[in-house]
Structure 1
Amino acid sequence: MSDPIDVDAAKKWLDAVPGGEIGKRLDRSWQDFAAFSDPVVTIYGSYDTGKSSLLRRLLIELGQEVPTWLTISARHETFEVNEIRAAGCVLRDTPGFVSDGTDARAKMNTGRASDAIALTDVGIVVVPPQLATAEYPVLRELVQQDWVPESLWFVISRFDEAGIDPDDDPDGYRALGEHKERELRAALSLDGSVPVYVVCQDFAQMAGTERNPDPTVWDESRSWDGISELLAAISALGSAWWPGIRQAAAQRFWRSSVQQVLQQLRKELTAHLENAAVSDEGGQRRASWLAQLDMLTRASEADLRGRVSAAVSDAVDSPDPAQSFAQALKTSLGAWHAACERDIDKLLRSVGDAVATERTRPDWQRFEEMAATLRHEPPGPDAILDDELTYAPVVRQVGDAVLNALRHYEQTRGLKATSPTPSGVGVTPSVDRMAAASAGIASREVVDFGSGVVHALRSTSHVER
């Protein structure tokens, strides 16, 4: 047995957990349970172990009417936790749990059964005669909780299906029952304080699916089917149950609640740490892409300055500097634009390939689901940006600036042509004006171009994130 848990401290700790006063909600559940003045006996087990047929047999033997909610069927019929008072106890029937169930109904039934066994004075665990091992992990976890002696029982149910006919070989039937009990105790590490009953609640299915059969249908099997021993134990509990069982139930309930919440918090912490790592990794990649983009911007600026300077230099010695400059600049800008477009396309393809690869990773998909939850929206289809539409305005801005500079030069050249010019310096004012125009393009518009590209890629990165 574990050391006693401080219930008040457990409630305060649970209320401090983010999520909305978990301790108060659990306390309301406990108070509803504590309102029972009789001991609560919960029948618990996996699907199709014979829980409902066992309860029917107990009620019939006690001379009680079987309620309409109790259905006997080979199908999965029990979906709710139902209760009935009998033999001085509150007997509860539960849905069958499904070990590692993934569908919605399995999870719902398992959750309801788990909640019921967590709030009970006595638990009766029903297992099939084959002792199905798939449920052992769940049952081992249940056994390890703080059950006081005589508060956890096991029933090996429908034992006439174990393989030996009790009518033909009663000794062999009894020996097989003892063997199965030893096997169950060894598998789940059950000590002597945990009673194990071997029962046959409906020999040869004589009662079938009938809700209220005549009890005489079991007269031939009553001497050996084990129901009398189980019924005597339940009646003894109802007639003289001691408060220690309810106190032990409180300790078990609050300890289990704290453990479950703590386990969930650890899972969430692991998930958040994984998401944080994915976010940091993505942030580092984004910073790397922006750095590459910045390098491309600076390189394109330097290249544009060089091309404009070369065009100016070539125009100086030309008979028609304006025409020569315009032609050279047109050729240079075309080559410069093509080179920039290739570099940017290459970077975009690299970014797109990396993002596409990331999104195939399970941890990245979980990160996107978390991000969608924070945005209160479902993850939508990936946004697709048209590279031409993204960068065309930026390139068009540079082209317009060049044309404006050339127009300015032509206007200035026309005005200056009517003024006398000192001998020997005829080309210098024109060259100066072209230099000024090209300097204006290189210093102002290239910077605008770089800023536009950075803004465009950042927008792309934001959408892709």
Structure 2
Amino acid sequence: MSDPIDVDAAKNWLNAVPGGEIGQRLEQSWQDFAAVTETVVTIYGSYDTGKSSLLRRLLIELGQEVPAWLTISARHETFEVNEIRAAGCLLRDTPGFVSGGTDARAEMNTGLASDAIARTDIGIVVVPPQLATAEYPVLRDLVQQEWAPGSLWFVISRFDEAGIDPDDDPDGYRALGEHKVGELRAALSLDERVPVYVVCQDFAQMAGTERNPDSAVWDESRSWDGISELIAAITALGSSPLADIRQAAAQRFWGSSVQQVLHQLREEFATRLENAAVSDEGEQRRASWLAQLDTLTRAAEADLRGRVSAAVGDAVDSPDPAQSFAQALKTSLGAWYAALKRDIDKLLRSVGDTVATERMRPDWQRFEEMAATLRHEPSGPEPAPDDELIYAPVVRQVGNAVLNALRHYEQSRGLKLTSPASDALGASSGVDRMAAAAAGVSVIAELAVIAEQFANRQRAANAAVQQRAQLQSELVSVGEEATALAQKTLNDLADDAHQRISDATADQVELRDGLRHLVDELRNHITSGEALLSGLRDGS
């Protein structure tokens, strides 16, 4: 056994779990248990190991009435934790846990049993005579929860089903029992301080399913069935001081709580680190796409000015300057707009294709699930039912606590987590901008008509040859108007593309800082928890 954990340090560490109230819930759970003034003895085991029939035998031998909730059958009969006071102790019967069970009933039974065995002074683990091969992983985890010497017991029950008849071969029966005890100790690494009892609670099922049989039914087996030794040990508990036992239970409870929460935090850390990597990718892609858009926009601006300047220069030296300028303006700016629109559409298609491909990746899907969870505001706290599990589901609470921490961080930064756009590029918001850009092209065409009308007026007003400088000045002025209007069209297209790129990467980029902060917070908390368990620091 390692040194006992610092209970106060454990509580402080649990209270500091990012975003949650896990420490407070565990504290309330422990205080409810600590209020029990008798030694709490919890009978624990998988389904059909004989827990209820063992408790029935113990109660009858102790001269107690067997309560109505205690039923004996080959079916699942125990679905809740039940208690009865006997021999100065509070005896608790638990549902059978199911190793690896995933259905609702199995999870509920396992949770109830785990919650009960976590808050107990003495744990009695019941295994069948064949031992609990499938349940060994669960039992190994239980054994490793730093039980104080003498606080964890094992009972190999229904041993008359082990294969040797105790009436016909008592020595062989006893030898087989010793062999099974050694096998169990080896399988679970139990030292000699862990008591192991071999019992036969109902030889040949003489009592069957009867709730309150006469104790005389077991007179023939009482001398060898191991029940007397078990009863003597339980009775001794009832007359022993509770303080030391309860203190050991507190250290185990809080130490196990830290271990389980730490294990879940490691899993959460791996998940949020993956989320942060996806967020980083989104930020990097956004930066790359916006850089490409900026390069494209700058090139379009330079091309626009070059085209208008060329149109002015060609018109000045042409035989019909006004008509030449009008035609060049319409043709050149039309080609410019077509090339600009083609280049931006190509970039946005690349963005859309990339986002669609990335969203097929499992890590991006997990990121989007996380983002969707953040967008769904949690409901207010509901009153806890009397039989609510406290300890068993605590690891499930860790994930919610971590997401709450991220949600609160984002809200403190003033970010409003909203649903994403209707598609990867925010198509619905882009329609209006594209319509505005198309309207801009219409204006450019109208400006070309205005230039032609201007030329006609010039010819009508003065048939003489215009002076070159005056004509060039007038054409430059009209060209600047065309440039300004074309620039507005360019800006509309660029703004639309910028917004659609931003929409496509919104979740990844907006959550980046929060995820990085959370990852750092989890890393630090895991480090302090590991130090707490290793005894290197007090964790306060």
| TM-score class normalised by the smaller sequence | 0.7 to 0.9
Work out whether residues 42 and 124 of structure 2, in 8 Å CA contact, stay in contact via their aligned partners in 1: yes
Number of aligned positions between the proteins: 463
- 1:396 corresponds to which residue? 438
- 1:441 corresponds to which residue? 482
Query: Does 69-78 or 47-56 show the bigger shift?
Result: 69-78
Which structure: larger Rg? Answer: 1
Q: Distance in 2 between matches of 1:462 and 1:68?
A: 66
Aligned equivalent of 1:455, options 495, 509, 514: 495
Change beyond 3 A, Cα 1:70–1:389: same
Deviations 1:290-315 (A, max 9, x none): 11112222233333334444444554
Deviations 1:242-278 (A, max 9, x none): 5321221122222222333333334333333332222
Query: Does 182-191 or 225-234 show the bigger shift?
Result: 225-234
Equivalence map 1:53-452=2 (5 Å): 53-241=53-241, 243-316=243-316, 320-376=320-376, 383-384=422-423, 385-386=426-427, 389=431, 392-420=434-462, 423-425=464-466, 429-430=470-471, 432-442=473-483, 444-452=484-492
Deviations 1:40-60 (A, max 9, x none): 101112233222222122223
Deviations 1:175-217 (A, max 9, x none): 2222211111011111111111122323444444443344444
**TM-score w.r.t. structure 2 length?**
0.76
Query: Does 91-100 or 205-214 show the bigger shift?
Result: 205-214
The residue matched to 1:69 in structure 2 has which SS?
A: coil
Letter in 2 for 1:95: P
- 2:514 corresponds to which residue? none
Change beyond 3 A, Cα 1:307–1:221: farther
The residue matched to 2:190 in structure 1 has which SS?
A: coil
- 1:2 corresponds to which residue? 2
Q: Distance in 1 between matches of 2:141 and 2:489?
A: 66
Equivalence map 1:31-46=2 (5 Å): 31-46=31-46
Q: Distance in 2 between matches of 1:190 and 1:457?
A: 67
Could you tell me the percent identity over the aligned residues?
72
Letter in 2 for 1:412: F
Change beyond 3 A, Cα 1:134–1:12: same
Task: Give the root-mean-square deviation of aligned CA atoms.
Answer: 3.1
Q: Compute the displacement of 1:91 (Å).
A: 0.4
Change beyond 3 A, Cα 1:168–1:435: farther
Deviations 1:221-256 (A, max 9, x none): 434332232222212222335532122112222222
Work out whether residues 406 and 437 of structure 1, in 8 Å CA contact, stay in contact via their aligned partners in 2: no
Q: Compute the displacement of 1:279 (Å).
A: 1.0
Deviations 1:135-181 (A, max 9, x none): 22322222223322221100112333334444554443332222211
Work out whether residues 15 and 22 of structure 1, in 8 Å CA contact, stay in contact via their aligned partners in 2: yes
Q: Distance in 2 between matches of 1:99 and 1:151?
A: 23
The residue matched to 1:154 in structure 2 has which SS?
A: strand
Change beyond 3 A, Cα 1:209–1:336: farther
**TM-score w.r.t. structure 1 length?**
0.87
Work out whether residues 298 and 450 of structure 1, in 8 Å CA contact, stay in contact via their aligned partners in 2: no
The residue matched to 2:126 in structure 1 has which SS?
A: strand
Higher RCO structure (Cα 8 Å, ≥6 apart)? 2
Query: Does 36-45 or 341-350 show the bigger shift?
Result: 341-350
Work out whether residues 44 and 93 of structure 1, in 8 Å CA contact, stay in contact via their aligned partners in 2: yes
Q: Distance in 2 between matches of 1:459 and 1:104?
A: 46
Letter in 2 for 1:383: S
Work out whether residues 330 and 448 of structure 2, in 8 Å CA contact, stay in contact via their aligned partners in 1: no
Change beyond 3 A, Cα 1:353–1:225: farther
Query: Does 313-322 or 123-132 show the bigger shift?
Result: 313-322
Work out whether residues 330 and 445 of structure 2, in 8 Å CA contact, stay in contact via their aligned partners in 1: no
The residue matched to 2:248 in structure 1 has which SS?
A: helix
Letter in 2 for 1:178: E
Letter in 2 for 1:441: A
Unaligned stretches of 5+ in structure 2?
379-417, 506-540
Work out whether residues 383 and 463 of structure 1, in 8 Å CA contact, stay in contact via their aligned partners in 2: no
Work out whether residues 121 and 245 of structure 1, in 8 Å CA contact, stay in contact via their aligned partners in 2: yes
Unaligned stretches of 5+ in structure 1?
none
